[in-house]
Structures are given as C-alpha cells and as structure tokens.
Structure 1
C-alpha cells in the first residue's frame, strides 16, 4: 500500500470482517454502509472492526482489492498452453464480462470515481488491484502466445489494456450511466465476438 494507507492488521477474524463488509457494501453502497451495520453483519464488535480497519475507506479498498483479484484469477485460471488463442480470449472475455456487469463491480467503479478527488488513494488502490492486475495477467498470457507463434505483439502491455477496453465496449458504459440495467445474452455474445475478432485482426499471427 502507499504511504497514505496504514498497514492492515491480520488476525483470526479478518476474513469474517471482510465477508460482512462485502455484503453490506453490496447492499448499501459506500455511504450507506455504516460501521455499526458492518460490525453486526460480520458478527464482531465495533472495537474489533476498528482494530482491523480504523477507516471505512481502508476497509472498502481491501474488499474491492480482494474482489478484483478474484476476478482476475477467474478470468485467467484456464491453462493457456492447451487452448487456442481465440478460445482462450473468448473464455476470458465471458469471465471478465460476468464481473463487469455484476452489481458489485458497478458499485465499486462508481464509488472509486466519486471518491477519487477527496481520497486519491482509493482510486490508486482500485486501479492497482483491478485494471492493472488484469493487465499484468493478460500480458503474461500474451507473451506466451507470442512465443508459441499464435500472436504477433510488440507492446503486450498496451495490447492487454486494449483488450480490456474492447470487452468493456458499449455494455459497461451503458450500465454505468444507467442506460441499461443488465445486458441480454445476445448483447453479451455480440460484444465479446466483436472484441475477439477485432483483437485477432490486429494481433493474430
């Protein structure tokens, strides 16, 4: 963590606190998630909660980081060496889309943007645990695919960010601005096929 964020204490009730906070943040949002409510949901005292997380922002950052890390793991948990690039990209895209269109991800994004001016560490931590983590994981996969001769990429970091943006096309933006509540399966299929087709048209070997 950066210099503005205190070191987080770990202990036997840490996971309990995180699980309770996740549920409350999901149901109530950041502003509506009171310390009393989080402590009650987690089954701990306020004193115990504060001993782990003296600031609600720090707790939110930790919940968001764990959720984003889990999403990155889910998106890239397939053995890349055994799967053709198109199939791998398509599989990753569906897992990314599942997270991006979840209520939790939408709320995380809105909260981080809304609070980023007052609490810049919130945005930095979210970026590091979300887009940057996924960029690093995608870059590693792309490097292997380049070595196998399946992709031709000079800047894998840029390609990783471009692929994320392709998957976010249309649906994510419309959800963020409440144009749509949830995409249909046909809309998801259309965006993902377009993302993979465009990416391979540019970087396919």
Structure 2
C-alpha cells in the first residue's frame, strides 16, 4: 500500500491526527474506532483528517508504519562498531520493550482480526514489521560477517530466527492473556537466552 501522505507532507496537524488515531486504535481496536472519535481525540476537524487520510485503513497503516519505523530506528539501529553479542543484546532489549507494549499488542490483534477482510492491512503490517526488521538486522549481520564476527549461510533466515528467539515465552503468554507484565529478571532471561543461542549457532 502506498503511504498516504505523499501529496500533503506532515505538519503539526498531521502529527495530531496520527497521535489521536494511535490512542483510539489502541483503546478501541479497528472496527470500533470511528473517524469522529479520532478527529475528536486529535483535536482536528474531520475535513482535516480526511485531507490526510481519505480512508480509515490508510490511517491505520500509517499509524503502524510510523510506530514500527521508530522501533526499527531504535531497536535495530545496530552500529558496526559493536560486536554482535553487545549489539544484539541491546536490540533484543528494545524489541522486547516494544513487544510488551500496549500498542504492539493492540496492533497485532487488529491485524489478525482484520487481515481477512482487508488484506492490505496484513500486508502493511508485515512489510512495516517483520520484513523491515529482517532487512535492518540482515544489513548488520552482513557487516558482522564481513568482519569475521559471525558465520551465516542464510542471513535472512538467521535474522528471522533472532526475532523469534526474542519472542520466546512472552508472546504466547501475552496473546493468551496468561501474563501481561514481565519483571526485569524475566526479560533479562529471554534476552540472554536469545543472544546466547544465536551466537552459539552463528558466532565465528
């Protein structure tokens, strides 16, 4: 799906619309989130909202894309100066911080519920999430391999495996409603396990 704000570039009201939509989508889900309520929470008119996003689906995908890009810039901003055991550990911490957030859980549930009716929502979710993460992490791993720090035959598969390792234990528990909050010790256990398992398989 093409990003909706190419003709009208973001300004203060554009950010207000995204912030308002983010709040409403998290609180109400996609189906119950009305344009009227989003405009009210954002503090803009419906005309202003429609000028940026003529459809609710476009607004949802842009909210998710914007948030996931922030995650990618923070969590998968892997400096070539850091060795993999350090860089991946920091990335894992930030990934877990995102995965345990109210926003991430709300977006995941919306995409699962709406993707059959609106395939473009699922496509946007995938492209802005797993696909983008794989590309960012893959770029770092290729650099690490060139420096002799890892040995990986299939970079894309290895990147996917790392993200799955970071989801161990917590995602099933969150999605099934078994547990929604995790202690620092619980998160550290997952981070350490993910990095140590990954490096045991791919470390040079």
* TM-score for the superposition, normalised by structure 1: 0.93
User: In the alignment, which residue of structure 2 is the partner of 1:36?
Assistant: 36
User: In the alignment, which residue of structure 1 is the partner of 2:159?
Assistant: 160
Cα distance, 1:34 vs structure 2: 1.6
Matched residue SS, 1:81: coil
Alpha-carbon distance between aligned partners in 2 of 1:6 and 1:84, rounded to the nearest angstrom: 38
Contact 1:8 1:53 in 2 (8 A): no
Contact 1:8 1:52 in 2 (8 A): no
User: In the alignment, which residue of structure 1 is the partner of 2:125?
Assistant: 126
RMSD across aligned C-alpha pairs, in angstroms?
1.6
- Gapped regions of structure 2 (runs ≥ 5): none
Cα distance, 1:77 vs structure 2: 2.8
Alpha-carbon distance between aligned partners in 1 of 2:77 and 2:8, rounded to the nearest angstrom: 27
1:40-73 CA-to-partner distances (Å, cap 9, x unmatched) read 1212111221222122121111100111111011
Contact 1:100 1:106 in 2 (8 A): yes
Cα distance, 1:28 vs structure 2: 2.4
Cα distance, 1:7 vs structure 2: 7.0
- For residues 83-122 of structure 1, what are the structure 2 equivalents within 5 Å? 83-122=82-121
Alpha-carbon distance between aligned partners in 2 of 1:59 and 1:203, rounded to the nearest angstrom: 40
Matched residue SS, 1:10: coil
Check if 1:49 corresponds to 2:49.
Answer: yes
Matched residue SS, 1:152: coil
Q: 1:204 to 1:165 in 2, by over 3 A?
A: same
Q: 1:52 to 1:125 in 2, by over 3 A?
A: same
Contact 2:141 2:150 in 1 (8 A): yes
Contact 2:174 2:180 in 1 (8 A): yes
Cα distance, 1:6 vs structure 2: 6.7
What is the number of residues matched between the two proteins? 202
User: In the alignment, which residue of structure 2 is the partner of 1:68?
Assistant: 68
User: In the alignment, which residue of structure 2 is the partner of 1:151?
Assistant: 150
Cα distance, 1:27 vs structure 2: 2.5
Contact 2:83 2:144 in 1 (8 A): no
Moved over 3 A (4+): 5-9
* TM-score for the superposition, normalised by structure 2: 0.93
Q: 1:160 to 1:92 in 2, by over 3 A?
A: same
Check if 1:23 corresponds to 2:23.
Answer: yes
User: In the alignment, which residue of structure 2 is the partner of 1:203?
Assistant: 202
Alpha-carbon distance between aligned partners in 2 of 1:7 and 1:104, rounded to the nearest angstrom: 22
- For residues 3-22 of structure 1, what are the structure 2 equivalents within 5 Å? 9-11=7-9, 12=11, 13-22=13-22
